[in-house]
Structure 1
Amino acid sequence: MKQAGKQALSDNTPRPASNENYLLISAFSAAEKSPLVAVSKRISECGCNLAEARVSTLGNELSVLALAQGAWDAIAKLENALARLDRDGELRLTHFRTSAKQQQSNLLPYVVEVVAADKPGVLFQLAEFFAQQNISIEQLHSTRYRAMQTGADMFSAQITIGIPNTTHIAALRDDFLEFCDGLNLDAIMDPMKF
């Protein structure tokens, strides 16, 4: 028993600062009962801050991704509050502890927009292209819709990517546009404007 205690004390894993504890929360509910109110209320009541949030309607469901930040005991209190909220059954919840995103100054933010006739696998092919180039997808929003004039099923995606600063941008853009031409995708890749 003492050995385990000594081993834990000699562990070189740094503990987070007192308010640098994070809980990633995913909540879903029917669109008319927004989980944002319930989740953000619990975060506030437990003494945590809402560091980041994303809200999206997918099908008939409203989804919320929230990143709560706070002291260790406040995060533990929030975990218990979320467990009670999950048991109530109005929301579908998952949560787990995480850490802050590490700043990567070597990545250049670019925005990619793609429009094409809808067909299976388009998003997979786009994700695979960027993965093969060691380019991270930071944010993505894709949708399927019907074209007003023709009624054709269409696919649209807006993607924020992080390109390593060692990448030759002109060559990457040429490769990407050639890739899109091969799939009959209309696409642009531009630096993100702040």
Structure 2
Amino acid sequence: MEIFSMAQNHQNEIGRRIGYARVSTDKQTTEQQIAELRRAGCKKVFVDEGISATAKLRPALMQARETLKNGDIFVVWAIDRAFRSTLDAIIFLDSIDSDGVAFLSLTQNIDTRTPEGRKWFIDTASWAEYERAMISRRTKLKMADAKRRGVKLGRPHRLTPKVTYRAFKKINCGKESITSCAKKLSVSSITLTRAFKRLGLIIQR
């Protein structure tokens, strides 16, 4: 993805460029974001991994905020990496602005050191929130439709009836404990006990 040239023109800046990257799941990677932030002059990059777009708590973002000082520029790959709502974005911008810190988004040509940049910041944050809301609505509608059609939602049970019966026999005859059996099946003891209950299996003590 092309990064706007303004991200490179920072020779005359007096402060530091502090970067922030985020991905929603552990299966995603922040490598591309970090690489672009480094290329844009960020010596330090704070990273939140496995933090969803709607999560209120973003530890690395808070750490980055505490690090920012007068003259610094807070840099993100895209505005939706940092904020979950338009209100959060505006509050954050007002907070760093009062400390003499600017905001820069690499992929959206947002630079809050100009009036136009501040307006574009708010417009983009609003649009990102709208897109998330629309995705959420479509997801809920699809789930409701699937439920009406009798489709089972959620992850399939790791403990199939066959696996559950086999575990039950070992525990019931004293060959294994619930704890050791659950560990071998990579589930918790509570999950295994619930699987027994679903099938009406009662362990004889």
The two structures have a TM-score, normalised by structure 2, of 0.23
Give 1 or 2: higher strand fraction.
1
Give 1 or 2: higher helix fraction.
2
The two structures have a TM-score, normalised by structure 1, of 0.24
